[in-house]
Homo-oligomer: A and B are copies of this chain.
Amino acid sequence: MKISHSFDSGAIEVLSLDDPGNIRLRLRADNAAEFHQWFHFRVQGAAGRSLRMVFENAAEAAYPDGWPGYRCVASYDRRSWFRVADTRYEDGQLIVEHAPEHDSVYYAYFEPYSYERHLDLVGWAEMSPFAQADSLGWTVEGREIDRIVVGRATPGRRPVWVIARQHPGETMAEWFIEGLLERLLDAADPVARRIRERAVLHIVPNMNPDGALHGNLRTNAAGRNLNREWRAPDEQASPEVFHVRRAMEATGCDLFLDIHGDEALPYVFFSTAEEVPGFTAETAARQARFVAAFAAASPDFQTDEGYKPGRFGEELLTLASKWVAHRFGCVSLTLEMPFKDNANMPDGHAGWSSVRSKRMGAAMLNAILAHLEGA
């Protein structure tokens, strides 16, 4: 039996693999920061054995509240992922028990989204008559900050920005973008057609490709949490934010959506902008319209559960959607999808999944159109 993790977003520390019934693991930290939570590894040679995998340092994870109710995802072919029912959090340890049916099996915190798939997505979009891909600058490690622009910038078309995966371990965010783009570039869909006529969309499918490749949960290659860098991004340490923010200044922003995953809450929800200084009644009304349209489009979205007011304290304006709300006075929202499941519509087999995230991205277009067609 072997465990390997030298692949895209692979991350685990193996303490002991002697006994399949007591495999001792540790969550690995981000490459340059002390956040632990993401894992992704492959077990070889375990077909038919009953594995018991213990993540010893689960209690030291960035979000220990992420473990109760959580179930590990697994796949044999890297395409079809399922939840491992026997996942539990006990005495500060995450325990996953599984008897794989094949010799080669992958376990992960959530369905991965590789950099290769990212580049394929950008290449695919580039071939659409409705989109163009460009690069806004370099990441810390010299990767492109890919932007997909949908719709030509003609007078009267409003600039909409959608960014995803500032936190690289929140892969559902890029699955969401994939679903959004597939619909947005559909020649026949009337919602997509109308949006393309009324707006120019600037889409950054992956704000943090370095961190994603490293298998980081929250930070870029320099150890920065990008979603705390918006007030004063550093060209060296947080170039991903620096360049995107600069591009936003050039285009202006009429609507901003920042796509995330939340480790703890088993719901899809927005973190809204009421607490942002200068938030007006007019923006509040626009925000409400956007939220209502999204609720109408997707029953997986809800507004009862979410973050408590004051959660971000002093850091408020360092967050992307809050900074944008403040700077541009526009509707600006953070979408959170669960790592666990939507407790209102649970799926025993898959939990929250790549496909459900894609459906969410497609449904978001209805809300974007409602926004554009509002006053």
Contacts and interface: CB of A to CB of B under 8 A. Distances in A.
Interface residues of A, number: 63
A42 B142 CA distance: 12
A296 B296 contact: yes
Q: From DSSP, what is the main secondary structure of chain A's interface residues?
A: mixed
Interface string A158-182: 0000000000000000000000000
Interface string A122-160: 111011000011110010011110000000000000000
B293 A296 contact: yes
A304 interface: no
A243 to B, nearest CB: 12
Nearest to A146: B104
A298 interface: yes
A15 to B, nearest CB: 16
Given A76-B126, A193-B345, A355-B188, A132 B115 contact: no
Contacts of A102: 126-127, 132-133
A77 interface: yes
A45 interface: yes
Interface in A70-99: 75-79
A74 B348 CA distance: 33
Given A102-B126, A135-B44, A143 B7 contact: yes
A117 interface: yes
A268 B297 CA distance: 20
A104 B293 CA distance: 35
Interface of A: 2, 4-8, 42, 44-45, 75-79, 102-104, 114-117, 119-120, 122-124, 126-127, 132-135, 138, 141-144, 186-191, 193-194, 293, 296-300, 345, 347, 350, 353, 355-356, 358-359, 363, 366, 369-370
